[in-house]
Homo-oligomer: A and B are copies of this chain.
Amino acid sequence: MEGNRLTESKDISNPFEQKAKQQELIKEKMANVKHKIAIISGKGGVGKTLVTVNLAAALAKGRKGKVGILDADLTGPCVPKMMGLKGHKMELGASGIMPARGSEDIAVVSMDFLLPDDEAPVIWRGPLKMGAIRQFLGEVAWGDLDYLLIDLPPGTGDESLSVLQLLPELSGVIIITIPSEVSQAVVKKAVTFARQMKVPILGIVENMSGLVCPHCGEVINVFSKGGGAKVSKEMGVELIGSIPMDPKVALDSDNGVPFIYSHPDSPAAEAFKVVVERIEGQVKK
Chain A interface residues toward B at CB < 8 A: 42-46, 49, 73, 75-76, 78, 81-82, 86, 118-127, 129, 153-158, 161, 178, 180-182, 184-186, 188-193, 196, 211, 213-216, 218, 220-224, 235, 245, 247, 250-251, 253-254
Partner of A185, one of B78, B127, B182, B250: B78
14 CB contacts below 8 A, A to B, read A42-B76, A44-B154, A45-B154, A75-B154, A75-B155, A118-B188, A120-B192, A121-B189, A157-B157, A158-B158, A213-B215, A216-B216, A222-B245, A222-B250
Give, as a whole number of angstroms, the nearest-CB distance from A244 to chain B.
11
Report how far A82 CA is from B216 CA in the complex, Å: 31
Partner of A161, one of B125, B154, B216, B245: B125
**Are the C-beta atoms of B154 and A76 separated by less than 8 Å?**
yes
**Are the C-beta atoms of B254 and A123 separated by less than 8 Å?**
no
Partner of A182, one of B78, B122, B158, B181: B78
Q: Which residue of B lies closest to A155 (CB)?
A: B75
Give, as a whole number of angstroms, the nearest-CB distance from A254 to chain B.
4
Report how far A121 CA is from B173 CA in the complex, Å: 16
**Are the C-beta atoms of A78 and B186 separated by less than 8 Å?**
yes
Report how far A82 CA is from B180 CA in the complex, Å: 11
Partner of A253, one of B76, B180, B213: B180
Report how far A129 CA is from B78 CA in the complex, Å: 25
Give, as a whole number of angstroms, the nearest-CB distance from A155 to chain B.
4
Q: Which residue of B lies closest to A161 (CB)?
A: B123
**Are the C-beta atoms of A124 and B157 separated by less than 8 Å?**
yes
**Are the C-beta atoms of A247 and B235 separated by less than 8 Å?**
no
Q: Which residue of B lies closest to A179 (CB)?
A: B250
Give the residues in chain B near A178, CB-CB below 8 Å.
45
**Are the C-beta atoms of B220 and A218 separated by less than 8 Å?**
no
Give, as a whole number of angstroms, the nearest-CB distance from A193 to chain B.
4
**Are the C-beta atoms of B45 and A156 separated by less than 8 Å?**
no
